[in-house]
Each structure stands twice: as C-alpha cells, then as structure tokens.
C-alpha cells in the first residue's frame, strides 16, 4: 500500500519526486494522455466502481446514483475532455509583435510548474481529488495527494487506486490527520491546490507564501439563490430542492440561502414541501436516497447553527428533525431569521435552507453585496432585465440562470471563486494553465536595435519620436 504519513517518508517522497520532475516535464502529449487514460480505465471497471460505491456509502451513506454521477461521472468527463485537447494545449502559442519590435517573433511555451500538492476535502472525496490530478498530469507535474481523514474508506480506496496506477515518484497518496497536511504545506512544493473552507485556505496560503509557492484555493461561501417575481415555481423549486439536498447539502456550489420575492413565498413553501416528499418520502430518514452528514463534528456544527437561529426567533417551515447517532438532519426550511443569525453569515454546508424575502431587486442585491463574494450565484427568473441587472451588480465565481449545480459539470467553463470564495481557476484548459508556467519567449529573426543604441545623436531622437507616433 502506497499511503504514508511519517515525516521521514514524506521527505523521501518529496525528494524522489523532485528528482523525477524533469523527466515528467519532458513527457509528450501521448504519454500524458496515456496516464490520464489509466484513471478512466480504472473507474469504468465494474468491480472498482462497486467498491467505490460501497466506500462512500460506508463513509456517509451516499446513494449509488449520486456517487456515479458526481464522483465517477464528473471525473470521467474531465479526463476525456483533457485527453482530447491536450496536444493543442501543450503547443506553443504565437503572439502579435508590435512595430517597435519588428524583426522579432514572440510566443508562449507551456511548461509544468513542477511538484504539485493536492489537498482534497471530504464532501466529494474522489471528484475533488481526481479532477485536479487530471489537470496536474496534463501539465506534466508530479503530485502528492492528501485526501481527507474524515472519509476514511474512500481515502483508502484512493490510495489503493493510485498505487496501482502510478509509481510513487510520479503520484503519491499520503494519508493522515491535519498535522500531515501542515507538514506537507511546509515543504517547498511549486504549486498547492487546496479545496476546503476559507478559514483553512488562509492557513494554506500563509504556508505557501513561506516558499513562494503558487496556490489554487477552491473555497466556498454563501451562494445565494434569487427567486424573483417572474420565476416559474413549477419548474425551479424542484431544481432548488435537488441541488440543496444532493449529497445532503454538503456541496460547495449548493444554494446556501434563498432570496425570494415576497409575492412568491407562500407558493414556494408549498412546492418545496411537495418536492421533498416526492424525492425522499414522508420521512426522509427512511429513504435510501438521502445521504447523511459526513462527521459527528459537522453534524454538531449544523445543529448549533439551527439552534442559534431558533433562539433568535426563526421559524422552521418544514423539517428540523435530527438524530446525532445516525448523523441525520432532515431537509429543513427556515424563515424569519434575525439579521445576526449565524445561518445568514456562515456557510451552511448541509440540508438547512434559510429563506429571506425581499420587496424589490435592489434590496436583494444589497443583501448579497453585504457579504463576501460567493462561489456561485443562482438566479431563478424569466426576466432578462432582472437577470442582467443581478449579474451586472454582483460578483461571483460563477452563475447559473434557472438551473443549479450543472455549471460545475462543464469542463469548458472556468471554475473558482472570488477572494473569500477562492483564488485561481480550474477545469479543462484553465486547470492545465493553473499547473503550468506560461513561459514567454522572444526570438530575433532579422534587423536589430542599433538605431536606439547609444550614443543618441539628433537623428536617433527623431527616429524614436517618429516610432512613438506609430505605436
């Protein structure tokens, strides 16, 4: 088994990958495609898929359909997308030459940053480990992967898979607690790709700064979902309920709270209740299609957020049931929250949906802008004017109109946040660039710059003045 955690072993892996980084940098597009193809072959094997389904069910009761779509399916999509386009991504790109540099050509070469560290979270432990790995392999980097200690069964699965597919000097999996992550981030990796909370992201960035390592931080935040007065509730409420409770709400791009035009509130509540029953039955606790909270710690945190809101006068419109032993929280809709309720300030990351009403769109926009920039902003509207107004006056890593989550499924779109919700972009070509150094190259082909070499007689001054007028 490949996974290690001892400090001496970590140093050995790091040094072996450093020694191998130049060889990896010299790999061809065909060689990198073959390495990516290994992942696809492994994940499309029925026995391997079945073991993954069981691992995720053991970790937090994740239904098979959710595993196959959000873990296996997403990774296969990214892998195939990268393989088909990798040769084009790797080609040097010529850029225009200004008149002042006549006689030269300029282009950009793409070289791997070198040694990469990927620290992945527990909520989508395969998806959020493997798609950055695909990007790193595409760029020609060596990789150390540190999966979450929360989802132990799936982390073991990842370790077994990677040890079967790659030599340790190319890709290594390291298991362990938070102290292992701290040890790894203290090492002089060339690039660190971290997915997790803004609080931990700040620590990763501080550690990376000591080695001047570049970072990609995929964080989170409170992603709003605006439901305006024109929204077709017969269509959008089911989409909202699905997106909120997929993976038991433990999704960084899940709608974190609803901003609903006051004229739509009562109908939306009825549709929300109806959708919950259609998806999970009268008692979601009995449903095999509803996942559980991944850890006791996170379950306790969610209960604390809900209790804080209730203590401050909030009302549960549906749900609210909990079972700590089973790490269960029912799909819950909460309204009439006070301004200081933590449900309106902390990312929920669970099956609790705060509902806030507004009277005019300016009020909703101001509510969003009073908080850090979200990872995703959702707009449910049939009004192009309202939609454009929201997009023009807010900032978010990404946005979807009348749909939720699916922007994450398109590798052609850049994925990432803004400030508190993340730094850097990934997916597809954007992910390839995150793990690459864009090296500028200028080549002299003819002529030279003697006309601007000293000394500077009047004729040279006149030439430079003329040249400035032509720029």
Residues 343 and 367: their CA atoms lie apart, in Å, by: 14
* pLDDT beyond 50 at 414: yes
C-alpha dist (Å) from residue 17 to 36, 53, 412, 434: 18, 31, 30, 19
Q: How many CA atoms lie within 13 A of 13 on its CB side?
A: 28
The residue-averaged pLDDT of 102-119 equals 97
Spatial CB neighbours of 155, under 8 Å, sequence gap ≥ 6: 3, 125, 147, 148, 149, 173, 175
Confidence class for position 442, pLDDT limits 50, 70, 90: very high
Give pLDDT, residue 280: 98
Residues 25 and 15: their CA atoms lie apart, in Å, by: 16
pLDDT tens, position by position, 315-327 = 999 999 999 999 9
DSSP letters spanning 199-211: HHHHHHHHHHHHT
Which 8-state DSSP code applies to residue 454? S
**Length of the chain as a residue count:** 471
The residue-averaged pLDDT of 112-137 equals 97
The token pair at 368 is 């969003």
Confidence class for position 5, pLDDT limits 50, 70, 90: low
Give pLDDT, residue 4: 58
Give pLDDT, residue 169: 97
The residue-averaged pLDDT of 432-460 equals 92
The residue-averaged pLDDT of 105-118 equals 98
Give pLDDT, residue 237: 98
Cite the DSSP H helix spans in 295-445.
296-311, 361-369, 384-393, 428-434
The residue-averaged pLDDT of 339-364 equals 97
Spatial CB neighbours of 209, under 8 Å, sequence gap ≥ 6: none
Spatial CB neighbours of 338, under 8 Å, sequence gap ≥ 6: 309, 312, 313, 314
* pLDDT beyond 90 at 140: yes
Give pLDDT, residue 261: 98
Torsion of the alpha carbons at 456, 458, 459 and 465, rounded to the nearest 10: 90
Confidence class for position 229, pLDDT limits 50, 70, 90: very high
C-alpha dist (Å) from residue 251 to 22, 51, 277, 283, 347: 37, 22, 21, 22, 11
Give pLDDT, residue 3: 60
pLDDT tens, position by position, 265-278 = 999 999 999 999 99
**Helix pair 384-393, 361-369: axis angle to 10 deg:** 30
The residue-averaged pLDDT of 317-342 equals 97
Spatial CB neighbours of 435, under 8 Å, sequence gap ≥ 6: 112, 113, 116, 135, 136, 138, 139, 141, 191, 193
Mean pLDDT of the chain: 96
pLDDT tens, position by position, 22-33 = 999 999 999 999
Which 8-state DSSP code applies to residue 72? I
Give pLDDT, residue 7: 62
* pLDDT beyond 90 at 450: no
* pLDDT beyond 80 at 6: no
* pLDDT beyond 50 at 445: yes
Give pLDDT, residue 2: 57
390-423 burial, b at 16+ Cβ within 10 Å, e below that, comes to: beeebebbbbbeeebbebbeebeebbbbbebbbb
Query: Which of 100, 57, 355 has the alpha carbon at shortest distance from 226?
Result: 355
Q: Which residues does residue 118 pair with via DSSP β-bridges, in sequence order?
A: 145, 193
Confidence class for position 79, pLDDT limits 50, 70, 90: very high
Give pLDDT, residue 253: 96
pLDDT tens, position by position, 289-300 = 999 999 999 999
Give pLDDT, residue 316: 98
Task: Give the whole-number percent of the chain exceeding pLDDT 70.
Answer: 98
Active-site amino acid positions: 218, 252
Cite the DSSP H helix spans in 1-69.
7-25, 29-44, 46-60, 64-67
Residues 150 and 199: their CA atoms lie apart, in Å, by: 17
The residue-averaged pLDDT of 66-70 equals 97
* pLDDT beyond 90 at 99: no
Task: Give the whole-number percent of the chain exceeding pLDDT 90.
Answer: 92
Q: Which residues does residue 225 pair with via DSSP β-bridges, in sequence order?
A: 258, 378
Give pLDDT, residue 53: 98
* pLDDT beyond 50 at 48: yes
Give pLDDT, residue 1: 44
Residues 120 and 148: their CA atoms lie apart, in Å, by: 6
Whether the Cβ atoms of residue 391 and residue 368 lie closer than 8 Å to each other:
no
């Amino acid at each position: 088994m490949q996974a290690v955690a001892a400090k001496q072993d970590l140093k050995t892996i790091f040094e072996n990958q450093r020694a191998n980084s130049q060889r990896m940098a010299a790999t061809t597009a065909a060689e990198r495609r073959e390495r990516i193809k290994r992942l696809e072959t492994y994940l499309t094997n029925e026995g391997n898929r079945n073991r993954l389904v069981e691992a995720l069910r053991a970790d937090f009761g994740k239904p098979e359909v959710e595993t196959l779509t959000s873990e296996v399916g997403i990774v296969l999509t990214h892998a195939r997308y990268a393989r088909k386009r990798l040769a084009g991504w790797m080609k040097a790109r010529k850029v225009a030459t200004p008149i002042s540099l006549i006689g030269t050509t300029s282009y950009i070469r793409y070289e791997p940053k070198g040694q990469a560290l990927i620290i992945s979270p527990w909520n989508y432990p395969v998806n959020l480990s493997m798609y950055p790995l695909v990007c790193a392999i595409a760029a020609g980097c060596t990789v150390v992967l540190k999966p979450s200690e929360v989802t132990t069964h799936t982390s073991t699965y990842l370790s077994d898979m990677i040890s079967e597919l790659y030599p340790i000097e190319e890709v290594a999996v390291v298991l362990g607690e938070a102290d292992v992550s701290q040890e790894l981030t203290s090492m002089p990796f060339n690039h660190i790709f971290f997915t997790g909370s803004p609080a931990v992201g700040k620590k990763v960035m501080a550690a990376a700064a000591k080695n001047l390592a570049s970072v990609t931080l995929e964080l989170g935040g409170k992603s709003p979902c605006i439901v305006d007065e024109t929204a077709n509730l017969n269509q959008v409420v089911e989409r909202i309920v699905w997106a909120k409770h997929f993976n038991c709400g433990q999704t960084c791009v899940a709608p974190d709270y609803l901003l609903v035009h006051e004229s739509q509130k009562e109908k939306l509540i009825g549709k929300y209740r109806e959708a919950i029953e259609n998806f999970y039955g009268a008692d979601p606790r009995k449903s095999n299609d509803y996942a559980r909270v991944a850890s006791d710690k996170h379950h306790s945190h969610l209960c604390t957020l809900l209790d804080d809101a209730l203590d401050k006068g909030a009302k549960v419109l549906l749900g609210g049931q909990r079972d700590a032993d089973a790490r269960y929280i029912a799909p819950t809709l909460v309204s009439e929250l006070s301004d200081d309720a933590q449900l309106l300030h902390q990312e929920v990351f669970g099956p609790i949906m705060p509902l806030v009403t507004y009277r005019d769109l300016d009020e909703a926009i101001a509510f969003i802008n009073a908080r850090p920039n979200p990872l995703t902003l959702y707009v449910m509207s049939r009004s192009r004017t309202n939609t454009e107004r929201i997009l023009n006056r807010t900032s978010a890593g990404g946005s979807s109109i009348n749909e939720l989550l699916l922007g994450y499924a398109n590798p052609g779109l850049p994925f990432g946040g803004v400030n508190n919700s993340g730094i850097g972009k990934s997916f597809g070509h954007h992910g390839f660039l995150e793990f690459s150094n864009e090296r500028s190259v200028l080549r002299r082909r003819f002529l030279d710059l003697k006309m601007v070499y000293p000394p500077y007689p009047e004729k040279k001054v006149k030439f430079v003045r003329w040249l400035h007028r032509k720029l």
